Amino acid sequence: MRAVRTKPETRPNWMSPLRIALRSLVAVRSYPGEEAAAQHVCAGWLEANGMPVTYQTTRNGQPNVIATIENGPGRPYS
């Protein structure tokens, strides 16, 4: 299957912000055991887009970023 290229004017609006976020993340060096910088880039993007963030460290010291997405009243997704 071949990828289809679209002209910039036909790309979705979210493409530019997504591309900016991806470039920011790729620019961060993240060696095994040194993921904190990448963790903070992800957390910053999530918080900037209205998602509360908490940090969690696993038993072996690996960092996790946990974001909460509120979907309003009703049954939660599972």
Which residues, in sequence order, are CB contacts of 54 under 8 Å at separation 6+? 65, 66, 68
pLDDT of residue 24: 86
Domain coordinates of the chain in residue numbers?
Answer: 15-67
- Positions in the chain whose pLDDT score sits under 50: none
pLDDT of residue 59: 86
pLDDT digits (tens, 9 = 90+) for 32-52: 878 888 888 989 988 988 889
Q: What is the pTM of this model?
A: 0.64
User: 3-state secondary structure string, 7-73?
Assistant: CHHHCCCCHHHHHHHHHHHHCCCCCCCCCHHHHHHHHHHHHHCCCCEEEEECCCCCEEEEECCCCCC
pLDDT of residue 53: 94
